[in-house]
């Protein structure tokens, strides 16, 4: 398939609008650059096969923030058609029929079978009646003794329950007090952050009064991260997928620069506190400055 592709041009336009290179898309989708370039040029015959073509286009569209279904409604006719499997009919099962002789043998055996089951039923009823009679006598003898034992057990149970309830209340109070102290200590270590400014695709955040500086991410789709420290130290430059939860410790940094691809598929937290990313941008930058504690 040669010539310009409107589908490929639309994907390339969205990629350029997000300021994402083909290498960035490869990091997000794990699709080789040569296949991504073939999609942009409309040369779908260079892809591994018709089955992979639609899957590759879907991953590319999601990486640059396009709706795949809307894209297919407009440009789906450009993709090669999948071959239709030939339908095969299952073989007919042969039916067996009862011969007159086998039917007559079955009919003649029915009366004997009914008599056998009737005899078994009668013996079962007699056995059950004897069992119930013996059980009633035993229960009557045990009733009086059981009542006396039950009264004594109930008295002891009431005392034990009361003591146990008091012990549980004391333990819960001590645990709550301990948890409250732990939560207060954690809050002091986390500090607080605020968004100081937003310019284009860049959000500036100020973190203050924090004894630690950690940033964590939770991915619900394909995306990528590029994180650099104040002096240009590269912490990560790689793609991630649904279910990934990387976390980074920046206690030795005073500021970091984070570049996020496909932000709608990413949840970001600073010291376990969620950061509201810009919802209208697929790719964006977050700069965090940590203000030292007094």
User: In this predicted structure, what is the pLDDT of residue 101?
Assistant: 54
pLDDT score recorded for residue 2? 40
- Calculate the dihedral angle through the C-alpha atoms of 253, 256, 262, 267, rounding to the nearest 10 degrees: 50
Is 20 buried (19+), middle (13-18) or exposed (0-12) by CB count in 10 A? buried
8 A C-beta contact, residue 235 and residue 228 = yes
Report whether pLDDT(277) > 90: no
Give the model's pLDDT for residue 66.
95
For residues 191 and 81, what is the distance between their CA atoms, to the nearest angstrom?
A: 57
CA–chain centroid gap for 211, Å, is: 32
pLDDT, tens digit, 9 for 90 and up, residues 134-177: 555 444 555 545 554 454 555 555 556 666 767 667 777 777 76
Strands 273-275 and 223-229: unpaired
β 202-208/284-290 pair status: parallel
Give residue 184's pLDDT band: very low, low, confident or very high (50, 70, 90): low
Closest listed residue to residue 269, CA positions, set 280, 258, 283: 258
> If you search the block for the tokens 């030939």, which residue do you land on?
86
What pLDDT digit, counting tens, does each position of 261-275 carry?
A: 888 888 999 989 999
Closest CA to 30 of 236, 223, 226: 223
């Amino acid at each position: 398939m040669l010539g310009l592709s409107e589908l490929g041009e639309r994907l390339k336009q969205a990629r350029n609008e997000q300021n994402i290179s083909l290498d960035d898309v490869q990091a997000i989708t794990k699709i080789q650059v040569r296949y991504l370039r073939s999609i942009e040029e409309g040369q779908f015959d260079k892809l591994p096969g018709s089955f992979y073509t639609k899957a590759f286009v879907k991953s590319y569209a999601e990486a640059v923030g396009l709706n795949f279904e809307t894209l297919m409604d407009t440009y789906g006719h450009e993709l090669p058609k999948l071959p239709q499997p030939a339908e095969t009919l299952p073989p007919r099962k042969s039916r067996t029929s009862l011969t007159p002789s086998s039917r007559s043998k079955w009919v003649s055996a029915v009366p004997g079978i009914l008599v056998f089951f009737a005899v078994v039923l009668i013996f079962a009823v007699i056995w059950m009646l004897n069992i119930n009679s013996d059980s009633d006598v035993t229960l009557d003898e045990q009733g009086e003794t059981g009542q006396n034992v039950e009264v004594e057990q109930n008295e002891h149970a009431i005392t034990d329950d009361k003591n146990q309830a008091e012990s549980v209340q004391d333990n819960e109070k001590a645990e709550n007090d301990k948890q409250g102290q732990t939560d207060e200590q954690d809050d002091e270590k986390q500090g607080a952050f605020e968004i100081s400014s937003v310019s284009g695709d860049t959000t500036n955040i100020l973190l203050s009064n924090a004894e630690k500086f950690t940033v964590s991410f939770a991915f619900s789709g394909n995306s990528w991260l590029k994180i650099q420290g104040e002096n240009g130290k590269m912490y990560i430059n790689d793609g991630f997928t649904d279910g990934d939860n990387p976390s980074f410790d920046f206690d030795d940094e005073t500021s970091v620069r984070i570049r996020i691809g496909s932000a709608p598929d990413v949840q970001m937290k600073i010291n376990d506190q969620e950061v509201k990313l810009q919802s209208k941008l697929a790719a964006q930058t977050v700069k965090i400055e940590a203000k030292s504690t007094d």
